[in-house]
Structure formats: structure tokens, C-alpha cells
Structure 1
Amino acid sequence: MKIDGRSLGKVLGAPDNWRFVLLHGDDTGLIREYATTLVRTAAGSLDDPFRVSVLAREDQSRLEEEATALSLDGGRRVVWVREAGDGLAAAMTAILDGPAGSLVVMEAGSLPARGKLRKLAESRTDSASIGCYPEEGRALEGSVRRMFEERKVRVTSEALGWLATHLGSDRAGVRNEIEKLALYAGEGGELALEDVQLCMGDSGAASVEDAVFLATEGDREGTDLALERALSEGANPVAVARVLLNHIGRLRRVQAQIAGGQSRPDALKTLRPPVFFRKQTAFNRALDLWPLDALNDLARRTQAFELSCKQTGAMDLLLCRRHLAGIAAMAAGRRRRGHR
């Protein structure tokens, strides 16, 4: 069966109802999180040698042997397969057609919709196919809120909104940041916008924001350095696009208020959350260089860049570097010509 977000709890919370669960997609952190939840719920532990068999790529020839083995303590066995591919479809079909009672949990990367493993998992009522892709927008906000609730930490709406636009897209990276913030707040504590900005000041998310701000103020060398740092720390080009679109949107909002007759200081006060004090100078430099019509055009270009990154086979890293370098070059040109 193909499982969507609304039905996810039926699988993760009740693994005894399934014989085969296939986890596939681009978000390796989310895949590992779901696999860990399934194995722990089904077997009671991740490292019980009598109940859990972990098969790396080099061990996958033993899949049928492990799936048909009996548990020595009478409980249900779990076979946890890493780096799975369509080459395992024949063995998995034989297992499902036989009497084996083990649960097989497979972690795979991106699989084609017509691939053998996905077709097998989606065509059977005793099997589940779960796509794991980077969360965005409200979906990401909801996940972040739940992670804080699990740790008995409150977070303000401003802080939550800021986090949703600055966290990376990989689930493991998101969870690591939440762990750090929850430790800072302490059980029963509350995180405000200033707290999360302070705690994430040296993170990969901050590197993305640095690259975006430097690009719009025309610092080409600084943009390159900040972007490479962000990418080396696991930032995703789509996440870079989202941070950039958020920054452009805030610049557009201020320029529109100014065009309507407000002073710049008053227009800046309308932003929620407000511009972080360490970024105020860079934000004002960008306002000097980008009038509203140029920002509208830049937003359209950035949306096209994000869409290109999401296309199958796209050279997203190259597109990302080229897009930010182009913005920095345009801003530098505007500064030289004395344009806003």
C-alpha cells in the first residue's frame, strides 16, 4: 500500500500489522528516523541479537535466510535492510509469498515510481511504501512543534516561523538543531526568537542566511565562502532557495511600504519577525540596491531556480552556486552604477 502523511501513524504505530515496509526518498534523515521507530516498536530494542538483524549492502544476500529464521525467544523478528535497491525485489517477493513472519524494514534512496520494490510494496495489503521527502512550510513547522512538545519545551510563534525558514531540509539535521535548542531551554522552558537566533548563530542554517544577505548586498567573494560553508554542512539547494525567497519577500514588503509613503524606519518596524540586529546593516544595504520592480523580477527568477532544482537529474549544486553568484554580480553592478 502507498502510505501518505495522514496514514503514517497506522504504520509507525502498529508495525505488527505489516510484513514489509519500504522507506524511500531524498530525506535520508527522515528515512532513518522512521526505520528506527519501526524496529524499536516491533522488537522492543534496536540491538537485540535474537530479534533484530541489520543487513548492510554486503550482507543482503542473506535476506531470505534472515527473514525466514525463527526467533529464539518467541518474539517477532525484524530484518532491517540498509541501502536497499530494486535488486532485492525477487527475494522480497519470495519472502512475502511464503510463510515467514518476520517484519522486513528497508531503507532505500530515491526509487522510480515504476521500480520493482515500490510496485511490490504498493501492490500488497501486507506491505507499505512510504515516501520520505524534505518537509517545507507548514509541514516543517508542524514537525518542529511536535519535536519541542516531545521534549516539553514551548516555542513562540515568531521563533517557530524563523526556524521553519532557516533549518536545513534533512530530518537528521533538523532533529539535531531541535535537540540543541531543547537542551538550551531546559524541560518546561520557552524559546523566543532571540534564543533560537543566538543558539543557531554558528550553524549551517546561519551560513545559508549569510550567503543570501551577502549576495543581495553585492559581496561576491563573501557569498561564495558562506555558500560553500553551508553546502559543506549539509544545506540543500532547495533550502537555499526558500531562505532567499523569504529574504526577497521581506525586502519587497519594506519597499512596498516605502512606495506607499512610509519612512524606511517605520516600514522596517512592520516586519515580523524583525530583522536580527546583526543583519540590519546588510538588510539596509540591500534596500539601497534593489528597488521594488527589481525585487519582483528577482523573486520570479528565484522561483524558477527552485523549480529547476527539484527536477529529476538537475545539477542542483551548480544551479545554486550560479544563481547566488549572479545575484551578487547584479548587486555589485548596481552599486558601481550608483543605482538603488
Structure 2
Amino acid sequence: MKIDARSIGKVLNAPDAWRFVLLHGDDSGLIREYASDLTRRVAGSLDDPFRVAALTRETHDRFAEEATALSLDGGQRVVWVREGSDSLAGPVSSVLDGVGSALIIVEAGVLPARAKLRKLAEARQDSASIGCYPEEGRVLEGSVRRMFGERQVRITNEALGWLVTQLGSDRAGVRNEIEKLALYAGPDHELDLEDVRVCIGDSGSASIDDSVFLALEGDRAGTDLALERALSEGANPVAVARVLLGHISRLRRVKAATEQGESRVEAMKSLRPPVFFKKQQSFERALSLWSLPALAELAQRTQAFELSCKQTGAMDMLLCRRHLSVIAAKAAAASRRR
């Protein structure tokens, strides 16, 4: 069966309803999280040698043996296959047609709709095909708030809004940041905006923030340094595009308000979350360099840049460097004309 996003929780909470669960997509962190959750629910842990068989690409040839083996303690076994590919479709189908009871979990990367593994999982009633793709927007906010809730930590709406603009798209990276913030807060504490900024201020996410601010104020050398730091620490170009679009949107709101007669100070104060005090001068410099039409055009070009990064085979790192370099060059040229 093909499982939609709204039904994933039901699958994870009822692993005994399935013989085969296929986890595929481009969010490797989310795939690993779902596989771990299913394994714990069935076997009680991830490393029980009698109930969990973890197979890598080098040990796929043991699949049939492990999938048909009996549990020594009587509980259900889990065969957890990593780096799955279509070469497993035949062996998995043969095991499912047999009398075994083990839960088969296969982690795969991006699979096209015509892939044999996907067709197998989606065609059978005892199998689940779950697409794992990066979360964004309100969906990401909901996941982050839920993760904090699991750790008895609260977070203000203002802090949550800022945090999701800084997080990368990979689930493992998101969870790592949540773990760090929860440890910083301790149970029954509410994180505010300043807490969050202090705690993740030295992360790759902050480097993205730096590269975006510096590009829009025309600092070409600073942009390159901050972007390279962010990319070296695991940031991806789509995350850069999201932060950039958020920054452009806030500049447009302030610019529009000032053109309607509101003071720049009051317009900036109305932003939620507010501009971090260390970034206020950079924000104001960008305001002086970009007109509303120019910001609108930049937003459209950034959306096109994000879409290009998501296309199969795209040279996303090169596209990212080029996009920010062009922005910084335009801002620098505008600064020279002033």
C-alpha cells in the first residue's frame, strides 16, 4: 500500500499489521528515524542479536536466510535492510509469499514510481511504501514542537518561527539541533528567542544566516566565507534558498511600510521574530540598497534557484555559490552608486 503523510503515524504505531515496510526518498535522516522506531516497537531495541538482523549492501545475500529464520526467544524478528535497491524485489517477494513472520524493513534512496521495490510494496496489502522527504513550513513547525514536547520542553511561537528558518532539511540534522536545545533548556523550561539564538548561534545554520545577510548588503568576500563554512558543516542549497527567501520577505515588508510613511525603526520593530540586534545594521544597509521591485524580482529568481536545486542531477552547490555571488555583486554595485 502507498501510505500518505497523514497515515504514517498509524503505520509506525502498528508494525504488527505489516510484513514489509519500504522507506524511500531523499531525507536519509527521516528514513533512519522511521526504521529505528519500527524496530524498537517490534524487537524492543536496535541491537538484540536474536531479534534484529541488520543487513548492509555487502550482506544483502543473507536476506533470504535471515528473513526465514525462526526467533530463538519466540518474539517477532526484524530484518532491517539498508542501502536497498531493486535487486531485492525478487527475494522480498519470495519471502512474502512464504510462511515467515519477520518484519522486513528496507531503507532505500530516491526510487522512481516504476521501481520494482515500490511497485511491490504498493501492490500488496501486507506491505507499506512510505516516501520520506524533507519537511517544511507548518509541517516542520509541527514536528519540531512535537519533538520538544516529547522532551518536556516548551518553546515560544517567536522562537519556533525563527528556529525553523535556520534548520536544515535533513531530519537527522533537525533532531540533533532539538536534542542540543532540549539539553540546554532542561525539562519543564520554555525556550525563548534569545535562548535559541544563543544555543545554535555557532552552527552551520547561523553560517547560512550570515551568508544571506552579507550577500544582500554587498559584502562579496564575507558572503563567500560564510557560505563555504555553512556548506562544509552540512548545510544544503535548498536550506540556503529558504533562509534567503525569508530574509527577502522581511526586507520587502519593511520597505513597503516605509514607502507608506512608517518610520524604518517602527517597521523593523513590527517584524516577528524581530531582527537580531547584531544583524540590525546589516538589515538596514540592505534596505538602502534594494528597491521593492528589485526585491520582488530577487524573490522570483530565488524561487527558480530553489526549484533548479531540486531537479535530478542538478549541480546544486555550484548553483548556490553562483546565486549568492550574483546577489552580492549587485548589492555591491548599488552601494558604489550611492
Q: Secondary structure at the match of 1:82?
A: strand
1:316 is matched with 316
2:252 match: 252
Aligned amino acid, residue 224 of structure 1: D
Q: Which residue of 2 aligns with 1:286?
A: 286
Gaps of 5+ in 1: none
Give how far 1:333 is off: 0.9
Q: Deviations over 1:283-313 (max 9, x none)?
A: 1111111111111111111111111112222
Task: State the match for 1:106 in structure 2.
Answer: 106
C-alpha deviation, 1:11, in angstroms: 1.1
What displacement does 1:276 show? 0.2
* 1:230 corresponds to: 230
3-state SS of 2:201 partner: coil
Corresponding residue for residue 272 of structure 1? 272
| Aligned residue identity for 1:310 | K
Gaps of 5+ in 2: none
Q: Where does residue 188 of structure 1 map in the other structure?
A: 188
Report runs of 4+ in structure 1 exceeding 4 Å deviation.
Answer: none
Letter in 2 for 1:47: D
What is the DSSP-based 3-state SS (H/G/I as helix, E as strand, rest coil) of the residue aligned with 1:105? strand
CA distance in 1, matches of 2:86, 2:231: 30
One-letter amino acid matched to 2:150: E
Q: Which amino acid aligns with 2:301?
A: R
Report SS of the residue matched to 1:252: helix
**Distance (Å, rounded) in 1 between the aligned partners of 2:134 and 2:233:** 16
Distance 1:223 1:122 in 2: 46
SS of equivalent residue, structure 2 residue 42:
helix
Task: Return the alpha-carbon distance in structure 2 between the equivalents of residues 16 and 268 of structure 1.
Answer: 54
Percent of aligned pairs with the same amino acid:
74
Give distance in 2, aligned partners of 1:224 and 1:93. Answer: 50
Distance 2:68 2:141 in 1: 41
1:312 partner letter: T
Secondary structure of the corresponding residue to residue 140 of structure 2: helix
2:23 is the counterpart of 1:23 = yes
Give, in angstroms, the shift of residue 46 of structure 1: 0.8
Distance 1:44 1:313 in 2: 40
Equivalences for 1:76-95 in 2 at 5 Å?
76-95=76-95
CA distance in 2, matches of 1:38, 1:231: 32
1:1-340 alignment, distance < 5 Å? 1-338=1-338
Report the secondary structure of 2:47's partner residue.
coil
Q: Can you list the C-alpha shifts for 1:81-124, whole angstroms capped at 9, x where unaligned?
A: 11111111111111111111111111111111110111111111
| TM-aligned CA deviation for residue 231 of structure 1 | 1.2
- State how far apart, in whole Å, the 2-side matches of 1:105 and 1:138 are: 29
For 1:202 and 1:286, the matched residues in 2 are separated by 23
Q: Aligned partners of 1:287 and 1:326: how far apart in 2?
A: 17
TM-score, with structure 1 as normaliser: 0.98
* Residue identity matched to 1:182: A
Between 89-98 and 312-321, report the one with greater CA deviation.
312-321
Secondary structure in structure 1 of the residue aligned to 2:175? helix
1:275 aligned partner, one-letter code: V
Which AA in structure 1 matches 2:95?
I
| Cα distance between partner residues in 2 of 1:48 and 1:266 | 60
Inter-partner Cα distance in structure 2 for 1:102 and 1:171: 27
Map Cα deviations across residues 45-97 of structure 1 (whole Å, 9 max, x no partner).
11111100000110000101100000011111100111111111111111111
What TM-score, normalized by structure 2, do the two folds share? Answer: 0.99
**Separation in structure 1 between the aligned mates of residue 173 and residue 276 of structure 2, nearest angstrom:** 23
Aligned residues: 338
Q: Secondary structure at the match of 1:100?
A: coil
Please state whether the residue corresponding to 1:42 is helix, strand or coil. Answer: helix
Following superposition, the deviation at residue 221 of structure 1 comes to 1.4
